[in-house]
Amino acid sequence: MIRIKVEIADKDIVQAIEVTGHADYAEHGQDIVCAAVSSQVISIENSLYQLLHIPVKTKVNESQGGYLKIELPEIESKQVSHDAQLLMKHLIFALEVTAEAYPEYIQIKQVKL
């Protein structure tokens, strides 16, 4: 199962998203659930970095896979912070939609910091 932890700071600010595990929906390379989650998270990570120029803190397990965490640094610009939150909340929404379609393979929980 893929477990997604959304870390929420004060004022409902999304601070980080951590993804662990494997869906085991299908064989490696054929698993559409893993592919959907991975592509969504990586797409937002790239958008934060490439479009908003935010030095996102990213941790991955390169050897075994099954672990990815993106964490936002402190952002001084109100506009950039707003845009970053919009992207992070979009990611959460997309992951929730995927979890609704595949509830036995994805679990999402939000943690207040």
Active-site annotation holder among 28, 34, 53, 82: 34
User: What's the farthest any 2 CA atoms get from each other in the chain?
Assistant: 44
Active-site annotation holder among 22, 28, 53, 82: 22
Tokens of 8: 């929420």
> So where are the chain's domains?
2-105
Over residues 14-30, the mean pLDDT reads 94
Confidence (pLDDT) at 31: 94
Rounded CA-CA distance 71/34 in Å is 20
Has 22 been annotated as catalytic? yes
Confidence (pLDDT) at 28: 83
Has 34 been annotated as catalytic? yes
pLDDT at 79 over 80: yes
Fold of 2-105: Alpha-Beta Plaits (3.30.70)
| Residues paired with residue 75 on neighbouring β-strands, in sequence order | none
Q: pLDDT digits over 25-78, tens only?
A: 998 889 999 999 999 999 999 999 999 999 999 999 867 778 999 999 999 999
Exposure string of 32-66, with b = 16+ CB inside 10 Å and e = fewer, is ebbebbbebbeebbebbeeebebebeeeeeeeeee
Stated pTM of the model: 0.93
